């Protein structure tokens, strides 16, 4: 009797070790895109930052989301190609 893999046998595959980095990176990039579109960014300690009121701090915050997302995806690629 042959044993075949079931379709979608592991539903949480995207949270396992190298794929968790990719999922987190895509989430951060998506979050950066939404914040760039809305014109307001969320900081954990400081609340909301608006593009019109604090443009430099807003741009740094959105750039931080993009940079962390890209670095997380690069870490995923390094883990996969190891």
45-58: pLDDT as tens digits = 878 999 999 999 99
| pTM reported for the whole predicted model | 0.77
The number of CA neighbours under 13 Å toward the Cβ of 1 is: 1
Q: Is 9 a domain residue?
A: no
Q: Is 1 a domain residue?
A: no
- What's the number of domains the chain is made of? 1
Structure tokens at 57: 């701090």
11-43: pLDDT as tens digits = 666 666 778 888 899 999 999 999 999 999 988
Instruction: Specify the 3-state DSSP secondary structure of 59.
Output: helix
Q: Is 16 a domain residue?
A: no
Q: Is 3 a domain residue?
A: no
Q: Is 4 a domain residue?
A: no
- Identify which has the larger pLDDT, 47 or 5: 47
Q: Is 12 a domain residue?
A: no
CA dist 31 and 43 (Å) reads: 12
Say what the pLDDT of residue 15 is. Answer: 66
Domain extent at residue 47: 22-80
Q: Is 27 a domain residue?
A: yes
Q: Is 15 a domain residue?
A: no
Structure tokens at 22: 């990719």
């Amino acid at each position: 009797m042959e044993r075949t893999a079931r379709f979608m046998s592991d539903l949480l595959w995207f949270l396992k070790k190298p794929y968790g980095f990719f999922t987190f990176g895509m989430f951060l990039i998506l979050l950066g895109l939404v914040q760039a579109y809305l014109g307001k960014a969320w900081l954990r300690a400081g609340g909301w930052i608006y593009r019109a009121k604090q443009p430099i701090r807003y741009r740094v915050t959105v750039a931080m989301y993009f940079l962390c997302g890209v670095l997380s995806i690069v870490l995923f690629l390094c883990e996969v190609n190891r």
